[in-house]
Homo-oligomer: A and B are copies of this chain.
Amino acid sequence: MSSNHVKIFDTSLRDGEQSPGASLTSAEKLEIARALARMGVDIIEGGFPAASPDDLEGLRRIAVEVGNPPAGESAGSTHVPVICGLARANRNDIDAAWAAIRYAAHPRIHTFLATSPIHMRYKLRMDPEEVVERVREMVGYAYSLCPDIEFSPEDAGRSEPEFLYLVLDEAIKAGATTLNIPDTVGYTTPDEYGALISGIMANVPRIENVTVSVHCHNDLGLATANSLAGIMAGARQAEVTMNGIGERAGNTSLEEVVMALHTRRGIFGLETGIDTTQISRVSRMVSNYTGIPVQPNKAIVGANAFAHEAGIHQDGMLKNQQTYEIMRPETIGLSRSRLVLGKHSGRHALKARLAEMGYDMTADELDRTFDRFKQLADKKKIITEADLEALVEDQSYQSEEVYSLDGLQVACGTMGMPTATVRLRGPDGYLHIQAAVGTGPVDAAYKAIDCIIGSKINLLEFNVHAVTEGIDAIGEVTVRLQGENGSRHTFTSPQSEQVQHRTYGGYGADTDIIVASAKAYLAALNKLLRSAHHEHAAELAA
């Protein structure tokens, strides 16, 4: 299966969502999955369905809506990605994964089991023989349900090579078609990881009939280099996340691997199916929905990544374009002129522009967006593409509300006593009003909201970012919060099986940052409240 095509396996919605605060609603996951499919991702890992009924349902929707050709179009006329679900090596997890992905045109089950002495002994409490038997049995079981099976030997880097080869051989015999090699502890160097993949390519029988995959973490800043070393050694699938999100220092960045292969194709001689001009837009969407900002000096997608280039353009000197030749901003979809629409633009122009940007709206959604567009155009002369994105994403964020913001009034400044008055519409349909004093206007608004909702909240992170140039910009706020300790707000990591506190991210956009802050807080709170509600319902049903 050696070819010059490297499959891009995006796990932003699974491993990426394990980052603190990245919890996404089903609606957000679906929208990100659509954007990933549009960008040409080969495989979308959309969740860990055994985690909760919510996770299962979220992945099922992706399988149904993103994992099939659009109604009326035949298979083959558009790119339809493989939809993948993660499962530990047990029947319950595999059944849950299959239940979620079976409606996709191309479903995949991804199952894993640790193969290092330390993991087998302390985490699994299994003998090597039991591990081999479990892999044979569970890969076989998964294969009885689904023809496309991926197997990962967890902590492969610290496994005995001979044992690792044996396990991989068994996985192939039992039906695995992709073997993914995770650098679980994020510690290998490119030489070590390349050698690990080379060893597998050289020693596992019939390895040429399956796809070998790289999965690296960025704890030492080496994830991209390790992934490329694995690809040079023969791997033809890269597991990545947008913006490199993920636990700790995150996973390998999709954009770095794709652009390294693209820009240096002269030395790699490999290609991916990614439409690079979508990278910039998908990066912003993932950042907004997860609430995880991208630093300005982030490779490829940071705000400054092409700043030097801009200087060259201004200068317009060809000699410099050659002497400091770097990537073109257009390649990742950064267009220099971001002027889009103004006050006098009509509904038709807005619709056309949104369609170009990849937003497919119902008439109702378009109506709401147009209203908000007009309100914004009254305040701001020029509406840019980034403004429109903020508008649309703020709107879809607010779509599953428990409490909604009906009014906010704030007084603050250097004389102290910052005061906020908040009016919310509750799930009962009634309006609730409350005033509070805080250490600052945001604190005051949040205290007033807490008072109405009556829950104890722990604010972990708060970020404001002005999306657009100019002093009249739309402010975007992302927050991350945690409920009080209690079983309803915890989750279990699929790898470590540790109970961790769930954190919730929220996003809000407004020209008034205090209003945006209140919206973001409510968005996160609504997620928390819905989640508490679901889990409560699940407990009652059990």
Contact = CB atoms under 8 A, between A and B. Distances in A.
Interface in A497-542: 498-500, 510-515
Contacts of A327: 219
Interface in A219-270: 219-226, 228-229, 232, 243-250, 253, 256, 259-260, 263-264, 267
A405 interface: yes
Interface string A188-226: 011110000000000000000000000000111111111
Contacts of A224: 220-222, 225
B307 A20 contact: yes
A472 B418 CA distance: 12
B414 A253 contact: no
A337 to B, nearest CB: 17
A222 B225 contact: yes
Interface in A163-205: 184-187, 189-192
A308 interface: yes
Contact of A515 (B19, B294, B413): B413
Contacts of A259: 220
B304 A248 contact: yes
A119 interface: yes
Contacts of A24: none
A411 B296 CA distance: 32
Interface stretch (A69-77, A356-364, A460-468): A460-468
A486 interface: no
Contacts of A470: 458-459
Nearest to A515: B414
A299 B249 contact: yes
Q: Identify which of A21, A296, A299 gathers the most chain B CB atoms within 10 Å of its CB.
A: A296
A323 B471 contact: no
**Total identical chains:** 2
B299 A20 contact: no
Contacts of A263: 187, 220
A300 interface: yes
Interface in A309-324: 309, 311-312, 315, 319-320, 322-324
A155 B323 contact: yes
Contact of A465 (B246, B305, B462): B462
A297 B245 contact: yes
A53 interface: no
A263 B188 CA distance: 11
Given A123-B323, A187-B264, A218 B299 contact: yes
A469 interface: yes
Interface in A1-45: 19-21
Contacts of A438: 471-472
A248 B475 contact: no
Nearest to A409: B413
Given A184-B324, A219-B305, A319 B471 contact: no
Contact of A466 (B118, B219, B462): B462
A342 interface: no
Interface in A441-457: 441-443, 446-447, 457
A122 B493 CA distance: 56
28 contacts: A118-B322, A187-B264, A190-B190, A219-B299, A219-B300, A220-B256, A220-B260, A222-B224, A224-B225, A225-B226, A248-B297, A248-B326, A311-B496, A312-B496, A312-B498, A315-B498, A324-B495, A409-B414, A413-B514, A443-B511, A458-B470, A459-B471, A460-B469, A462-B464, A462-B475, A463-B465, A464-B465, A514-B514
Given A220-B300, A249-B302, A462-B475, 5 more contacts: A189-B267, A222-B260, A243-B297, A292-B295, A463-B465
